[in-house]
């Protein structure tokens, strides 16, 4: 029996926890091979960490699960025609198309989310709309074989949903126990509806600087998107 191939696609400007959280979980899927790839196999720097020894995305023949993490680099990535061509190729042949955070914008730009329910980071959810996606506020959203996680840390929850799909609940729960994944955050401010107004205002102000350029990029990518 051939191994299940799980592919994480990296690009400049990726948020490393979007990738490393799910990778930690899904690398434990039974009878599987977890591959991390970038264009040309280039090293990817992410917030002070450098990921190296990556596969060349264009030379990956196929995968069963494709996962696109998010990050501020999604703005450039979804307008990179060569990169998007590889995402379309590999995603079209995958059984599961998945993402974390703003990685769903790349899935959408590849044409996979039209008419599909999808999660995204709360600050950028509206940018899914030009692609014809159905915006979900869920931490993990599923629409058929499309499974998407919300912002950053939601990627870990997404990964356990994915692991249950691949290996069953007992196996997924055993991995959860082994990783001692029992979140108990010190502050109850992880979603905009829970955060104190002054904290929410601070975060929105910080993100406002890039909001216009990201929204413009989403519209341009939606106009250029090819149907799968």
Burial level of 144, CB count in 10 A (0-12/13-18/19+)? exposed
**Mean per-residue pLDDT over the chain, rounded:** 95
Q: Is the pLDDT of residue 226 over 80?
A: no
The answer to whether 97 and 6 are in contact (CB under 8 A) is no
Spatial separation of the C-alpha atoms in residues 68 and 185, rounded to whole Å: 26
Spatial separation of the C-alpha atoms in residues 217 and 211, rounded to whole Å: 10
Q: Which tens digits make up the pLDDT trace of 65-99?
A: 999 999 999 999 999 999 999 999 999 999 999 99
| φ/ψ (deg, to 5) at 65 | -130, 125
Among residues 63, 67, 101, 120, the one annotated as catalytic is 101
- At 216 the pLDDT is 83
The answer to whether residue 101 is catalytic is yes
Q: Is the pLDDT of residue 212 over 70?
A: yes
Band (222; pLDDT cuts 50, 70, 90): confident
The answer to whether 90 and 62 are in contact (CB under 8 A) is yes
Q: Is the pLDDT of residue 228 over 80?
A: no
Comparing 100-114, 117-131, 158-172, 213-227, which segment has the lowest mean pLDDT?
213-227
Q: Which tens digits make up the pLDDT trace of 18-68?
A: 999 999 999 999 999 999 999 999 999 999 999 999 999 999 999 999 999
Write down the pTM of the prediction.
0.95
- At 199 the pLDDT is 96
Band (215; pLDDT cuts 50, 70, 90): confident
How many percent of the chain have pLDDT more than 90? 89
């Amino acid at each position: 029996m051939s191994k299940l191939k799980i592919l994480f696609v990296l690009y400049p400007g990726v948020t490393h926890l979007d990738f490393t959280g799910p990778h930690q979980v899904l690398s434990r899927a039974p009878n599987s091979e977890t591959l991390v790839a970038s264009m040309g196999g280039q090293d990817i720097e992410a917030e002070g960490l450098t990921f190296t020894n990556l596969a060349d995305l264009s030379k990956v023949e196929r995968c069963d699960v494709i996962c696109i993490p998010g990050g501020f680099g999604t703005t450039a990535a979804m307008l990179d025609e060569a990169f998007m061509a590889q995402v379309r190729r590999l995603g079209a042949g995958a059984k599961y198309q998945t993402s974390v955070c703003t990685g769903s914008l790349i899935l959408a730009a590849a044409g996979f989310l039209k008419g599909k329910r999808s999660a995204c980071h709360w600050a950028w959810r509206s940018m899914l709309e030009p692609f014809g996606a159905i915006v979900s506020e869920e931490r993990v959203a599923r629409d058929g074989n499309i499974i998407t996680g919300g912002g950053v840390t939601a990627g870990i929850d997404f990964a356990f949903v994915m692991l249950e799909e691949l290996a069953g609940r007992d196996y997924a729960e055993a991995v959860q126990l082994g990783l001692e994944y029992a979140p108990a955050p010190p502050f109850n401010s992880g979603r905009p509806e829970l955060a104190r107004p002054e904290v929410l205002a601070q975060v929105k102000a910080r993100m406002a600087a890039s909001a216009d350029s990201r929204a413009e990029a989403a519209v341009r990518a939606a106009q250029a998107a090819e149907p799968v």
